[in-house]
């Protein structure tokens, strides 16, 4: 097999999202189950994949409708307290060939309700690539389940085949998560933060900035412990979207509930963070003074650089960041980025173009390419960021940076460099 395929930032920038090398387009080759794809296809391993994300609604249960191979790693979620919230409708070859199982789903929902000693808030119907290929109308199936049981049902699509489409599975599941909200009278000093399944890290400055603008209540799905708290999200005057995969959910909430939204992007370049807060202030009619947070983040970067010098990084995609935007930020702070392991698409191609201007020789790999089985660690890398990058560079100091407390804004920058320094100190690394 050929060496691990890569393309430099400069060479990739000369192309377009529609003209990617075949090795960067998962539709053109077999998919290598790298650490990054395991995060998606086997979400029981860590973090929030479709299966766990579907259960973020308080009081929900899930019926996984799939052949055994698709549900094999769900068992790993039991350690996180989900053992009594998963049920299975296992499919055999005849089910898949004929599609006969679709008519059995309402009956399966009725049966799982008989096994519970309580009535769940919703039954999440989770289907896999089988239904993507068959074209199953899951919305119709959800209505049939409600008619039979009296309990609402919502769809979850675990379609690995659509990972790089405009509305990937993690975008669809975000839309489903908020689909049960019903229209209520909006409250002027209440807002929602959308984008992640767990809450922002408690120290994130966006809370204080919003409070300073007169916002009294900030709703997040990750802080809802009861279904009643979940329903309160529909009282928001507006939503702030921090992850583009939540855009479809926010658009649906705007259409159904009349809640407008403002979209920000999780970034690690301080000037871009500052500009976003300025624009947010303008949008909500308030002056947001972020100067203290800006200075604190600047000082943290400066101290790290003075201590460790011009480190060379490898940046993965199994992390709480866009690989290419983070690499661009690191270059702007005076570090080097030798390699990136990431998925290139329309949304982040602008970062590729900017990266090509400041670090044209940065090598870009796809975690999904089977050629990554022959990847050899680059000797010039000093430290790594991302769980997949840590896998590719065993023994190197690094920050997985994919915890459940979500980083954002200046606080996210500080969290990153704090985690990097802890790893460097533990391994005794010095410039």
* Judgement on whether residues 312 and 410 belong to the same structural domain of the protein: yes
Query: By the 8 A CB rule, do 385 and 416 touch?
Result: yes
pLDDT at 43 over 50: no
* Judgement on whether residues 296 and 419 belong to the same structural domain of the protein: yes
Residue 376 belongs to domain with CATH number: 3.40.50
Q: Which residues contact 292 (CB under 8 A, 6 or more apart)?
A: none
Dist. CA 304–CA 335, nearest whole Å: 11
* Judgement on whether residues 229 and 346 belong to the same structural domain of the protein: no
Instruction: Tally Cβ neighbours within 10 Å of residue 254.
Output: 14
Confidence of residue 31 (pLDDT cuts 50, 70, 90): low
Final residue before a domain boundary, out of 108, 129, 163: 163
Concatenating the DSSP letter of every residue in 242-258 gives -SGGGHHHHHHHHHHH-
Dist. CA 303–CA 314, nearest whole Å: 21
Query: By the 8 A CB rule, do 325 and 353 touch?
Result: no
pLDDT at 125 over 50: yes
Tell me what the mean pLDDT of segment 153-157 comes to.
91
Angle, helix 409-426 to helix 270-284, in steps of 10 degrees: 150
pLDDT value of position 281: 96
pLDDT value of position 40: 47
* Judgement on whether residues 370 and 398 belong to the same structural domain of the protein: yes
pLDDT at 289 over 70: yes
- What is the share, in percent, of the chain residues with pLDDT greater than 90? 68
* Judgement on whether residues 199 and 323 belong to the same structural domain of the protein: no
* Judgement on whether residues 266 and 312 belong to the same structural domain of the protein: no
Beta strands in 96-243 (DSSP E): 123-128, 153-158, 187-194, 217-219, 236-241
Residue 220 belongs to domain with CATH number: 3.40.50.1980
Would 390 be classed as within a structural domain? yes
Dist. CA 430–CA 427, nearest whole Å: 9
* Judgement on whether residues 249 and 302 belong to the same structural domain of the protein: no
* Judgement on whether residues 223 and 109 belong to the same structural domain of the protein: no
Q: Which residue has the higher pLDDT, 73 or 292?
A: 292
- The full length of the chain comes to 431
| Helix/strand/coil for 230 | helix
Closest CA to 153 of 176, 169, 173: 176
Structure tokens at 162: 């659509």
Would 410 be classed as within a structural domain? yes
* Judgement on whether residues 324 and 242 belong to the same structural domain of the protein: no
Our CA dihedral for 272, 273, 276, 277, rounded to 10 degrees, sits at -150
Tell me what the mean pLDDT of segment 303-329 comes to.
96
pLDDT at 28 over 80: no
- Host domain of residue 245: 187-284
Average per-residue pLDDT for the chain: 89
Q: Which residue has the higher pLDDT, 336 or 127?
A: 336
221 CA to centre of own chain: 14
* Judgement on whether residues 280 and 295 belong to the same structural domain of the protein: no
* Beta strand pairing call for 398-399 and 86-90: unpaired
88-102, 150-164, 234-248, 400-414 — which is least confidently predicted? 150-164
- Rg (C-alpha) for the chain, rounded Å, is 22
Dist. CA 239–CA 242, nearest whole Å: 10
* Beta strand pairing call for 261-263 and 336-341: unpaired
Final residue before a domain boundary, out of 252, 268, 284: 284
* Judgement on whether residues 192 and 310 belong to the same structural domain of the protein: no
pLDDT at 193 over 70: yes
pLDDT value of position 42: 44
| Helix/strand/coil for 94 | helix
pLDDT at 75 over 80: no
pLDDT value of position 44: 37
How many structural domains comprise the chain?
A: 3
Would 32 be classed as within a structural domain? no
* Judgement on whether residues 121 and 197 belong to the same structural domain of the protein: no
Final residue before a domain boundary, out of 112, 130, 163: 163
Tell me what the mean pLDDT of segment 212-239 comes to.
97
Would 180 be classed as within a structural domain? no
Structure tokens at 215: 């916002």
Dist. CA 93–CA 108, nearest whole Å: 18
Strand partners, 124: 62, 154
């Amino acid at each position: 097999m050929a060496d691990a395929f890569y393309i430099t930032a400069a060479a990739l920038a000369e192309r377009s999202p529609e003209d990617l090398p075949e090795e960067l387009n998962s539709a053109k080759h077999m998919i290598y189950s790298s650490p990054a794809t395991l995060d998606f296809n086997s979400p029981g391993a860590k973090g929030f994949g479709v299966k766990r994300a579907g259960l973020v609604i308080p009081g929900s249960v899930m019926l996984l409708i799939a052949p055994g191979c698709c549900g094999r790693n769900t068992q790993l979620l039991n350690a996180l307290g989900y053992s009594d919230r998963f049920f299975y409708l296992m499919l055999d070859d005849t089910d898949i060939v004929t599609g006969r199982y679709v008519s059995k789903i309402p009956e399966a929902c009725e049966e799982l309700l008989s096994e519970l000693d309580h009535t769940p808030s919703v039954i999440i119907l989770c289907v896999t690539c089988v239904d993507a290929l068959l074209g199953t109308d899951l919305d119709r199936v959800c209505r049939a389940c409600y008619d039979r049981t009296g309990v609402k049902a919502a769809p979850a699509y675990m379609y690995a085949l659509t990972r790089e489409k405009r509305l990937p599975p993690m975008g669809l599941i975000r839309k489903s998560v908020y689909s049960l909200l019903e229209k209520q009278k909006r409250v002027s000093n209440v807002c929602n933060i959308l984008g992640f399944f767990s809450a922002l890290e408690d120290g994130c400055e966006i809370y204080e900035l919003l409070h300073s603008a007169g916002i009294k209540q900030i709703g997040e799905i990750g802080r809802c412990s009861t279904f009643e708290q979940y329903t309160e999200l529909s009282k928001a005057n507006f939503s702030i979207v921090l992850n583009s995969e939540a855009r479809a959910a926010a658009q649906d909430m705007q259409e159904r509930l009349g809640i407008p939204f403002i979209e920000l992007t999780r970034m690690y370049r301080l000037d871009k963070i500052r500009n976003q807060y300025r624009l947010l202030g303008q949008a909500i009619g308030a002056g947001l003074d972020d100067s203290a947070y800006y200075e604190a983040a600047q000082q943290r970067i400066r101290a790290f650089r003075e201590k460790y010098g011009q480190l060379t990084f490898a940046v993965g995609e199994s992390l709480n960041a866009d690989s290419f935007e983070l690499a661009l930020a690191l270059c702007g702070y005076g570090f080097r980025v030798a390699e990136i392991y990431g998925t290139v698409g329309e949304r982040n191609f602008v970062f590729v173009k900017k990266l090509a201007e400041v670090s044209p020789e940065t090598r870009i790999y796809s975690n999904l390419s089977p050629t990554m089985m022959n990847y050899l660690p680059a000797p010039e890398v000093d430290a790594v960021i991302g769980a997949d990058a840590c896998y590719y560079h065993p023994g190197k100091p690094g920050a997985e940076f994919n915890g459940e407390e979500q980083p954002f804004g200046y606080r996210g920058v500080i969290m990153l460099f704090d985690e990097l320094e802890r790893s460097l100190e533990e391994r005794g690394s010095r410039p």
